[in-house]
């Protein structure tokens, strides 16, 4: 499998495309104005301590002071250990009151765990954690842990492996879900990267004044080297000369193997034109995905889950009906795995394959789906066919889906996907005029609506409009307004 990573950079937006064997597999987008603060580490100054709320406000250089609760202070700063009445077993340690741990004017290293929202400032924690590709580093904790999502029988063996690799140095680690199948060498590289990062943070905290940013979570360009590039990556091409050199400097220090694959793209054509990536993005925002055989998928994304419906469409080329269905489902399984990555669909995904009468066909389709899903870097679990012929998948949510990032609900239909017909709106208007006429006694009613609705009222519905005018005894004038949506209208009383 040949993989290339293409990076299109501009001051306002970074776009990354992962291309395998000439086909786009993943799209990543990061916009400068929408990048959050979660994960950033600051040297803050305690602005105010509130004993009644057991919290403090910390100035980290933002417009509003950030909030720190006593539960989010480091465990070593002080605890009170209590015992049961008989003194047999100690109860869980209770934190010291916040006023005994921090004071106004104190410098304190903190990390943002929740972005500012509305009038509320950011939420902070003094329990620093630094995320790597496979591990999370806990500099203030010697704990060695494994993600709860990794099956129980494997967790103790993985914990012992990680303990041996981490050694006796300060700090603890948590193995992330995607590190379940990592080699010792990969884990060792991540440990070294995280410890170098923490050393730089501590060095900055000693040199910089309070209210300084000590560490910013990696941007998309840097995450390409840390998370996306791998042993199958042949080249990483970027179209910005300045960002190429910045990324090369970062890569040589932290990810030398990935940095060796960096190339500065100097071609005259835009880099995304090489594989028609903009067209691929446009298709990834649509509901329908056409298959080469003539069949198609319909993908609908909702709040709770994503549904995928498989249809044969115009495919009639197989010898018999069973083979036609089988081949369509087989191709759908291959395409679906790619669409999950391309659209970054997460959560619960329910697939309605075309009903198959033969068990061996169902098993073959399921095997193909699992084979294609295995290439996904995001942890995905594939179930079996249910009694209703549905297949359920769960895919870890790592970031917003492509549709949520690039689109918003239609202002005309409010995300329903449908709008009322012009005739339906015209009849709504006639009913509303009659309702108004029973309550008010104006000289004239003026209807302002979308041009299609007005045209219908002047043409096919003109007898009904004239009949209503005669019935209420008032003239009804019409005014077309191109800026109005297909369902919007106003009735003005003159």
Residue 249 clears pLDDT 60, i.e. is over it: yes
Distances (CA, A) of 423 to 26, 209, 329, 461, 484: 43, 67, 40, 8, 16
Residues 311, 35: Cα–Cα separation, whole Å = 39
Range of the domain at 427: 422-493
Give residue-wise pLDDT tens across range 27-59: 999 888 777 788 899 999 999 999 999 999 999
458: in domain = yes
**Mean pLDDT score of the chain, rounded to an integer?**
86
Q: Which of 215, 242, 264 is the last residue of a domain?
A: 215
Q: What per-residue confidence (pLDDT) applies to 22?
A: 85
Domain count, the chain: 4
Candidate ranges 139-153, 336-350, 413-427; pick with highest mean pLDDT: 336-350
Residues 307 and 369 grouped into a single domain: yes
* Domain final position from 170, 191, 215: 215
User: Residue 398 contacts by C-beta under 8 Å, 6 or more apart in sequence?
Assistant: 344, 346, 378
In this structure, the answer to whether residues 297 and 381 fall within a common structural domain is yes
306 falls within a domain: yes
CA distance 32 to 10: 10
Whether the predicted model's global pTM rises above the 0.85 cut: no
Asked if 321 and 354 sit in the same domain, the reply is yes
pLDDT per position as a tens digit, 270-301 = 999 888 899 989 988 888 999 888 889 999 98
Q: What is the pLDDT of residue 202?
A: 93
Chain segment 385-410, per-residue pLDDT in tens: 988 889 999 998 767 788 888 888 88
The rounded distance, in Å, linking the Cα atoms of 311 and 331 is: 11
Confidence (pLDDT) at 432: 93
Q: Which domain CATH number covers 172? A: 2.40.50.140
Same domain, 29 and 141: no
Strand order, beta sheet including 262-264 = 23-31, 13-20, 3-10, 233-238, 262-264
Provide the CATH number for the domain around residue 478: 3.40.1260.20
**The pLDDT value given to residue 260:** 92
Higher pLDDT, 83 or 194: 194
pLDDT of residue 94: 63
The pLDDT tens digits of the residues spanning 59-94 come to 998 888 999 999 888 754 444 433 333 434 444 456
Query: pLDDT above 70 covers what percent of the chain?
Result: 94
391: enclosing H helix or E strand:
strand 390-395
> What is the greatest pairwise CA distance in the chain?
93
Looking at residue 431, what is its pLDDT? 94
Give me the pLDDT at residue 36, please: 76
Q: Are residues 29 and 47 in the same domain?
A: no
Share of the chain above pLDDT 90, in %: 47
332-339 average pLDDT score: 92
| CA–CA separation, 176 and 193 (whole Å) | 15
> Does residue 172 lie in a domain region?
yes
HSE value, Cβ hemisphere, 13 Å, CA-based, for 7: 30
Sign of CA dihedral 199, 201, 202, 203: positive
Q: Which residues contact 407 (CB under 8 A, 6 or more apart)?
A: 285
Q: Residue 119 — very low, low, confident or very high, per pLDDT cuts 50/70/90?
A: confident
Give the Cα separation of 28 and 402 in Å (integer). 8
Q: What is the mean pLDDT of residues 114-140?
A: 86
CA torsion sign for 434, 437, 438, 439 is positive
Instruction: Please say if the pLDDT value at position 469 is more than 70.
Output: yes
What are φ and ψ of residue 179, in 5° steps? -95, 5
User: What is the predicted pLDDT for the residue at 79?
Assistant: 40
Confirm whether 414 is domain-assigned: no
Q: Give, to the nearest 10 degrees, the angle between helix 184-207 and helix 152-166.
A: 60
The pair of three-digit structure tokens given for residue 101, joined into one six-digit string: 């741990």
Mean pLDDT lowest among 82-86, 154-158, 380-384, 461-465: 82-86
Cα–chain center distance at 414 = 21
Lookup: tokens for 265 = 């793209």
Query: What is the reported pLDDT for 387?
Result: 86
User: Predicted confidence band at 374 (pLDDT cuts at 50, 70, 90)?
Assistant: confident
Q: What is the DSSP letter of 117?
A: B
373 and 231 together in one domain: no
pLDDT at 7 over 90: yes
- DSSP letter string, 12-55: TEEEEEEEETTEEEEEEEEEGGG---TT-EEEEEEEEEEGGGTE
| Coil, helix or strand at residue 90 | strand
Confidence of residue 263 (pLDDT cuts 50, 70, 90): very high
**Tens-place pLDDT, residues 297-308:** 999 988 778 999
95, 207: one domain: yes
Residue with more model confidence, 152 or 481? 481
Report which of 68, 193, 183 is spatially closest to residue 137, judged by C-alpha positions: 193
Q: Is residue 29 part of a domain?
A: yes
Are residues 200 and 224 part of one domain? no
Phi/psi at 301 (nearest 5 deg)? -105, 125
Domain-located, residue 174: yes
Say if CB 263 and CB 238 are below 8 A apart: yes
Tell me whether residue 293 is in a domain: yes
- Judgement on whether residues 133 and 233 belong to the same structural domain of the protein: no
Q: Do 323 and 263 reside in the same domain of the chain?
A: no
- For every residue of 419-443, DSSP letters joined together read ---HHHHHHHHHHHHHHHHHH---S
Question: Long-range contacts for 200-209 (Cβ within 8 Å, ≥24 apart)?
Answer: 201/41, 201/109, 201/128, 201/130, 204/43, 205/43, 205/109, 208/43, 209/43
Residue 351, classified by CB atoms within 10 Å of its CB into exposed (0-12), middle (13-18) or buried (19+), is buried
Check which CATH number belongs to the domain holding 239 and give it: 3.30.420.60
Tokens for 472, please give them: 């209420």
Last residue of some domain: 192, 215, 238?
Answer: 215
53 and 146 together in one domain: yes
Q: Do residue 118 and residue 171 come from a single domain? A: yes
Q: Is 6 exposed, middle or buried (0-12, 13-18, 19+ CB in 10 A)?
A: buried
In a domain, 413, yes or no: no
């Amino acid at each position: 499998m040949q993989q290339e990573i293409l990076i299109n950079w501009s001051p306002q937006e970074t776009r990354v495309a992962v291309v395998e064997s000439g086909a786009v597999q993943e799209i990543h987008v990061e916009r400068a104005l929408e990048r959050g603060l979660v994960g950033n580490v600051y040297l803050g100054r305690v602005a105010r301590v509130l004993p009644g709320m057991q919290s403090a406000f910390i100035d980290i250089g933002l417009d509003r002071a950030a909030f720190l609760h006593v539960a989010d202070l480091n465990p070593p700063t002080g605890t009170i250990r209590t015992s049961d009445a008989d003194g047999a077993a100690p109860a869980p340690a209770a934190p010291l009151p916040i006023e005994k741990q921090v004071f106004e004017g104190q410098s304190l290293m903190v990390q943002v765990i929740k972005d500012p929202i509305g009038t509320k400032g950011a939420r902070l924690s003094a329990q620093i954690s630094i995320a790597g590709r496979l591990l999370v580093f806990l500099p203030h904790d010697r704990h060695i842990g494994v993600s709860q999502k990794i099956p129980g029988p494997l967790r103790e063996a993985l914990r012992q492996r990680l303990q041996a690799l981490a050694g006796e140095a300060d700090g603890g680690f948590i193995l992330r879900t995607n590190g379940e199948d990592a080699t010792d060498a990969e884990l060792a590289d991540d440990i070294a990267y995280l410890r170098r990062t923490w050393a730089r943070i501590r060095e900055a905290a000693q040199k910089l004044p309070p209210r300084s940013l000590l560490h910013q979570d990696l941007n998309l360009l840097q995450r390409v080297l840390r998370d996306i590039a791998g042993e199958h990556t042949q080249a990483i091409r970027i179209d910005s000369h300045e960002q190429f050199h910045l990324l090369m400097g970062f890569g040589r220090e932290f990810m030398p193997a990935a940095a060796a694959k960096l190339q500065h793209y100097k071609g005259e054509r835009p880099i995304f034109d090489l594989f028609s990536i903009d067209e691929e993005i446009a298709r990834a925002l649509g509901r329908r995905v056409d298959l080469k055989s003539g069949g198609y998928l319909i993908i609908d994304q909702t709040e709770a889950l994503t549904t995928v419906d498989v249809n044969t469409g115009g495919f009639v080329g197989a010898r018999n009906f069973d083979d036609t269905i089988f081949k369509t489902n087989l191709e759908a399984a291959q395409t679906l795995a790619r669409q999950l990555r391309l659209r970054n669909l997460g959560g619960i995904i329910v697939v309605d394959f075309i009903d198959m009468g033969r068990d061996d066909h169902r098993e073959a389709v399921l095997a193909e789906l699992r084979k294609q899903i295995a290439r996904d870097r995001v942890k995905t679990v594939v179930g079996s066919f249910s009694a209703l012929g549905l297949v359920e998948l769960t895919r870890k949510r790592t970031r917003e889906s492509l549709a949520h990032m690039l689109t918003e609900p239609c202002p005309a239909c409010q995300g329903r996907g449908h709008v009322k017909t012009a005739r339906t709106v015209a009849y709504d208007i006639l009913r509303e005029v009659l309702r108004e006429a029973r309550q008010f006694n104006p000289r004239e009613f003026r209807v302002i609506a979308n041009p299609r609705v007005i045209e219908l009222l002047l043409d096919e519905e003109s007898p009904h409009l004239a009949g209503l005018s005669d019935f209420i005894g008032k003239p009804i004038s019409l005014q077309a307004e191109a800026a109005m949506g297909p369902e919007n209208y106003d009735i003005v009383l003159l």
